[in-house]
Amino acid sequence: MISREDALRSIATAAWQLPTISIPLEHAHGRVLADTVYSDVDMPPFPKSSMDGYACRTTDAFNTLRVLERIPAGRVPSHPITPGTCSKIMTGAPVPEGADCILIVEEVEVLDEKTIRFTGDSPKSNICPQGEDIQTGDAVLQAGLRLDSAHLPVLASVGCTHPTVYAQPRVTVFATGDELVPWDTQPPPGKIRNSNSIQLTHLAQRAGAVATDRGIAPDQRAAMIERWERALECDDVIISTGGVSMGDYDLVPEILQHHGFDIHFDRVAIQPGKPVLFGTRGSKACFGLSGNPVSSYLQFLLFVTPFLLHLQGHDSRAPGLPVTLGQDFTRKNGAREGWIPVALNAKLQAVPITFHGSAHIHAFTAADGFIAFPVGITQLHAGDSVFLRLLNGSNT
pLDDT in tens, 296-339: 999 999 999 999 999 999 987 766 889 999 999 998 889 999 99
Check residue 31 and give its pLDDT.
Answer: 97
Inform me whether the pLDDT recorded for 274 exceeds 70.
yes
Which residues are CB-contacts of 338 (< 8 A; sequence separation ≥ 6)?
A: 270, 271, 331, 372, 373
State CA 119 to chain mean position distance. Answer: 49
Question: Using an 8 Å Cβ cutoff, are 32 and 208 in contact?
Answer: yes
**C-alpha to C-alpha distance for 120 and 273, rounded to whole angstroms:** 67
pLDDT at 394: 45
Q: Is the pLDDT of residue 226 over 90?
A: no
CA distances for 298 relative to 88, 180, 243, 391, angstroms: 60, 21, 17, 9
Window from 80-84, 107-111, 147-151, 178-182 with minimum mean pLDDT: 178-182
> Residue 389: which of 312, 306, 328 has the closest Cα?
306
Residue 230 pLDDT exceeds 90: no
Provide mean pLDDT across the span 141-146: 96
Nearest Cα to Cα of residue 299 among 276, 317, 325: 276
Mean pLDDT (whole number) for 65-93: 98
Residues 200-222 have a mean pLDDT of: 90
Cβ atoms of 247 and 291 closer than 8 Å? no
Please give the average per-residue pLDDT across 44-56, as a whole number: 97
Q: What is the pLDDT of residues 344-353, one digit of tens each?
A: 999 999 999 8
Mean pLDDT to the nearest integer, 125-130: 98
| Cβ proximity of 202 and 254 under 8 Å | no
Task: Give residue 195's pLDDT.
Answer: 87
CA distance 218 to 177: 5
- CATH architecture assigned to 48-128: Beta Complex (2.170)
For domain 321-390, which architecture applies?
Beta Barrel (2.40)
- The pLDDT assigned to 194 comes to 87
Q: Which of 93, 174, 84, 156 is nearest to 127 (CA)?
A: 93
| Mean pLDDT rounded to a whole number for the chain | 92
| pLDDT at residue number 395 | 40
The pTM for the full model equals 0.88
User: What residue ranges of the chain are covered by domains with CATH 3.40.980.10?
Assistant: 4-18+167-311
The answer to whether the beta carbons of residues 28 and 76 sit under 8 Å apart is no
Q: Which pLDDT does position 396 carry in this prediction?
A: 41
Express as a percent the part of the chain with pLDDT over 70. 96
Residues 231-242: what's their mean pLDDT? Answer: 91
Q: What does each C-alpha distance from 371 to 275, 320, 339, 378 come to in angstroms?
A: 20, 9, 6, 13
- Higher model confidence: residue 42 or residue 223? 42
Per-residue pLDDT, 221: 81
CATH topology of domain 4-18+167-311: Molybdenum Cofactor Biosythetic Enzyme; Chain A (3.40.980)
- All CATH 2.40.340.10 domain ranges of the chain, comma separated, are 321-390
pLDDT class for 362, splitting at 50, 70, 90?
confident
For position 338, what pLDDT does the model report?
A: 92
Instruction: Give dist(CA 193, CA 283) in Å, integer.
Output: 33
Say if residue 393's pLDDT is above 90. Answer: no
pLDDT score, position 315: 85
pLDDT tier for residue 179 given thresholds of 50, 70 and 90: confident
